Amino acid sequence: MVNVTGKFIYKYSGYSDCIRQSVAADGYRVFGQGLNATLLRAFPTNAATFTVSLSIAPWLNTNYRAC
């Protein structure tokens, strides 16, 4: 964050300070925020990728042999 004079103001002094302040403010649930949305987005994407790769694999094995 930059203040009016153009100097950076740091909210945390390091990683451990960030974790300590986050846990103090919101508890350990702070690490799970946003996880549901991420999982809801990831499952359909991975399912589609897995399905397509399984569908294409037999075709690749019969049409493209290694020399």
Per-residue model confidence as pLDDT tens for the chain (67 residues): 666 777 778 889 999 999 999 999 999 999 999 899 999 999 999 999 999 999 998 888 776 666 5
Give which of 33, 15, 41 is closest to 49, Cα–Cα.
41
Which residues, 6+ apart, have CB-to-CB distance to 12 below 8 Å?
Answer: 18, 21
pTM exceeds 0.75 = no
Question: Which is it for the CA torsion 8, 10, 14, 19, positive or negative?
Answer: negative
